[in-house]
Amino acid sequence: MALGRGAFSALLLGGGIALGALGGWGYAHFAAPDGDDAPHAAPAAPANTTGALVVDDATRRRAGIVTAALATTTQSQGETGYARALDLGPLAAIGAEIDSARAAASASAREAARLAALAGADAGAAQREVESARAQARADAARLNLACQRVTFEFGAGLSHLGCGAAEALARQASRGEVAILRLDFPAGAPPAGAMVQIDLAPGSTQVRVLGPAAAGDTQLQSGGALALLTGPQAPRIGVGRILAATTSATGPVRQGVIVPRSAIVRADAGLFVWRATSPDRFERVPLEDGRALAPGWFVPIGRLHGGDQVVVAGAGTLLGLDHAAPQPSADGGDD
């Protein structure tokens, strides 16, 4: 049966619509990725918001971030200052001068005694020769005394108390790495002779006994210093000019504080601080103020830090790098 022109046109139009719908479904089906082909979301970059560093879980795992709770403790308040290892080259020179002056004084004293004995026995020694020998002996003894006093003038009375012969012995010991001479400075002045001072060797610590005052005051603290000897295996670790934290024996009031592990301390921006976790993904800097170095870590009085605070003990340096790389919050709190 023959179809009319209108009916045939309608049939073609309907077929075109059906084919178009089928093609659109196929394109949408094959263009959309399935669950295996879909790209995974990249971890969020660390961001610094209102002074806190936000780090997602994946980044924390890769950085090996580990936190630990701070333990509380009490500590008697001692004075905090610093210790500095002195150059013993001048002491070695003084020791050589003392040795030379001692030999000359001994020889001239024997010569004076010999001539005096000859003159007394009328063995041909003139009185003039005797007097000349005695004058030479007195001059050599004075030079020996002056060489010994150089220890006091250049290092201080604390070292001269060890005796004139100590300069040579200390110089020999220092050359073998067996001893180091420390200058101790505290804002309130030098501790008395015999006082015990704790030195932070980073790592580890040790105690030294004050010998006495140093020769000159400190130009920065404007206070008199003291001298002490550090002996034993720690002495070679103290390089000349190295600055170490020093604390006098605890004699002040008892203070509440926390012990901060050394692994948690970050040195940056001319100061010390720790990262405190305020939530699993947020960390904030907390400066260390009025801290004292102890064997288990740093004692910090209660204030910015409290017992139970979670601080980063592993990966703290990595957080510092992330913080430097993170975009900082704008000053006006909004976008331009």
Check residue 51 and give left, alpha or beta (phi > 0: left; psi -120 to 50: alpha): left
- pTM for the model stands at 0.50
pLDDT at position 52 is 80
Instruction: Choose the weakest-confidence range: 19-23, 79-83, 277-281.
Output: 19-23
pLDDT at position 252 is 59
Please compute the mean of the pLDDT values over residues 91-109 and round it to a whole number.
87
Q: Are 254 and 185 in contact (CB under 8 A)?
A: no
pLDDT exceeds 90 at position 308: yes
pLDDT at position 313 is 92
pLDDT tier, 49 (very low <50, low <70, confident <90, very high otherwise):
low
Tell me the β-bridge partners of 197: 208, 248
Helix (H, G, I), strand (E, B) or coil at 147: helix
Q: Are 88 and 177 in contact (CB under 8 A)?
A: no
pLDDT at position 69 is 93
pLDDT at position 76 is 67
pLDDT at position 115 is 82
User: What average pLDDT does the structure give for the chain?
Assistant: 77
Helix (H, G, I), strand (E, B) or coil at 94: helix
Please compute the mean of the pLDDT values over residues 25-31 and round it to a whole number.
40
Give me the percent of the chain exceeding a pLDDT of 70.
76
Please compute the mean of the pLDDT values over residues 77-106 and round it to a whole number.
84
pLDDT exceeds 70 at position 260: yes
pLDDT exceeds 50 at position 302: yes
The most confident of 203-207, 255-259, 327-331, by mean pLDDT? 255-259
**What's the CA gap between 43 and 143, in Å, rounded?**
78
pLDDT at position 42 is 46
Backbone angles phi, psi at 157, to 5 degrees: -65, -25
Long-range contacts of 294-299 (CB under 8 A, 24+ apart): 294/75, 294/198, 294/205, 294/259, 295/204, 295/205, 296/259, 296/261, 297/259, 297/260, 297/261, 297/262, 297/264, 298/259, 298/260, 298/262, 298/265, 299/73, 299/75, 299/257, 299/258, 299/259, 299/260
Tell me the β-bridge partners of 75: 255
pLDDT exceeds 90 at position 276: yes
Give me the percent of the chain exceeding a pLDDT of 90.
10
pLDDT at position 230 is 87
Q: Which residue has the higher pLDDT, 89 or 44?
A: 89
Q: Which residue has the higher pLDDT, 42 or 58?
A: 58
Please compute the mean of the pLDDT values over residues 189-197 and round it to a whole number.
84
